[in-house]
Amino acid sequence: MSTNVTKRLAAGANLPALGENVLTNTQEALREALSRLGYQNEMYELLREPLRVLTVRIPVRMDDGHVEVFTGYRAQHNDAIGPTKGGIRFHPDVTLDEVKALSIWMSIKCGIFNLPYGGAKGGIICDPRTMSVTEQERLARGYVRAISQVVGPAKDIPAPDVHTNPQIMAWMYDEYSRIRESDSPNFITGKPIVLGGSRGRDKATAKGVCVAMMEAVKVRGLELKGLKAIVQGFGNVGGNVASILHEMGVTVVGVSDAGGALYNPAGLDVPELMERRDSFGMVTTYYDGVISNEELLVQPCDVLIPAALESQITAENAHQIQASIIVEAANGPTTPAADEILSEREVLIVPDVLANAGGVTVSYFEWVQNNQGWYWTEEEVESRMEGMMVRSVQNIFRMSERYEVSTRLAAYMLGIRPFAEAMRWRGWA
């Protein structure tokens, strides 16, 4: 790779600056990617919204006897390539626009990794932190009953996302199999291993993030030894990223959860933090000297890994970020305005749709294993995913160089192109 590539690889350039709405931002990025690829507006019209969106109301009998009605969504972006695929999040801030944007991002991830899927996403407006296990189970089962007509192993395959986990996948699998009167492990991924889950799925997103980070570190000519990383978020992805980096010999100088952040320039004791964290990734409550999430993002480090929610890196803090590499483990952590600032400052961004796609890639492996009834070793899963991640990062860096666009725009171009081609072949566009 040429020496000036890192300059052009600095993400953010070429994307229009917009407001903070994730859906509008995604649509504008999509429009730009399609126009760079030479497609007419008709193609954008087909891809700018999910082909199908379902809103459901789910009555749940709470433990105290009263019935609460929850609102849930499932957005299926595009099924020109194959069934749609994507996680389900349980979070109080879920909105329809967010779920739609997340479904578009899932399409782009699947396109980049050549998975035979389109993107989908689901969400339920709820706060599982305030719900008992039995209430969560009734909600998970109620959601599957509400969406059962539009999902299935050859239609739309759900998976975990924010605040959902193998236990919730197991209840959903059980409910779907009951409705269909047929055992259907290939209906959902991220299941416990004993129920047909894939080895390596739990850490797949985090592993992929670290593999992608290593490629960026190489491009920047940095050494692993002495590298300092900050990880925002300590849930399934953030916690595992911090652990893997620690095992690799990277000094993890900062971590955070929804309540605050810890920073120590000499490095944090990640194994101890992992031992103390609860099932919602909360850990800072046990420590003194807690700073805010906003303060953490701007502390000195080489690599910043946002692994929490959307819109964390904004025009307000982008100027102060000290990292020279940002690897987006979360979906949508950087706003377009921040992207522009970071681009001017030549910060190298490994965009979300690339960096966190190890999760859906191993979900695909899980579905393949369920379809075949033939299970792989953890080594097979890991080496296949890692190979795909390295190739995808290199493809996007190369694309960014060839078209002289940001890594994010290159990722959108590479990820959306198969959908445009598939729709042409099918005669949709």
Catalytic residues: 121
Query: What is the contact mask toward ligand GLU in residues 171 to 200, using x (rule: CB under 6 A)?
Result: ------------------x-----------
Min. distance of Cβ 266 from ligand GLU in angstroms?
Answer: 33
Q: In what order do the strands lie in the sheet with 251-257?
A: 260-263, 251-257, 228-232, 303-306, 325-327, 348-350
For residues 186 and 356, which CB has a smaller minimum distance to ligand GLU in the complex? 356
Cα distance between residue 429 and residue 421, in whole Å: 9
277 binds ligand GLU (CB under 6 A): no
| Selection from 191, 148, 135, 202 nearest residue 168 by Cα | 191
**Interface region with ligand GLU, contact rule CB under 6 A, candidates 63-71, 80-88, 226-234, 333-341:** 80-88
Amino acid type, 357: A
Interacting residue with ligand GLU among 98, 161, 215, 386 (CB under 6 A): 161
Residue nearer to ligand GLU on the CB measure, 165 or 363: 363
- For ligand GLU, which residue of 332, 359, 415, 418 counts as binding (CB under 6 A)? 359
98 near ligand GLU (CB under 6 A): no
* Cα–Cα distance measured from residue 63 to residue 94, given in angstroms and rounded to the nearest whole number: 23
Asked if 110 is part of the footprint of ligand GLU (rule: CB under 6 A), the reply reads no
As given in the structure block, the two tokens for residue 408 are 């994010």
User: Whose Cβ is closer to ligand GLU: residue 159's or residue 348's?
Assistant: 159
Residue 261 tokens read as 């952040």
The H-assigned helical ranges of 277-345 are 293-297, 336-344
Cβ 227 to ligand GLU, closest distance in Å?
Answer: 25
- Pick the stretch among 4-12, 14-22, 222-230, 352-360 that binds ligand GLU (CB under 6 A): 352-360
Please state the separation of Cα 86 from the chain's center in Å: 9
The upper half-sphere exposure of residue 279, i.e. CA atoms within 13 Å in the direction of its Cβ, equals 11
Find tokens 């120590």 and name the residue.
264
- Does 87 bind ligand GLU (CB under 6 A)? Our answer is yes
Strands 260-263 and 303-306: unpaired
Q: Which stretch binds ligand GLU (CB under 6 A): 290-298, 343-351, 359-367, 402-410?
A: 359-367
Q: What are 214's two structure tokens?
A: 């290593």
Which residue from 78, 335, 363, 370 is in contact with ligand GLU, where contact means CB under 6 A?
Answer: 363
Q: Which is nearer to ligand GLU, 359 or 415 (CB)?
A: 359
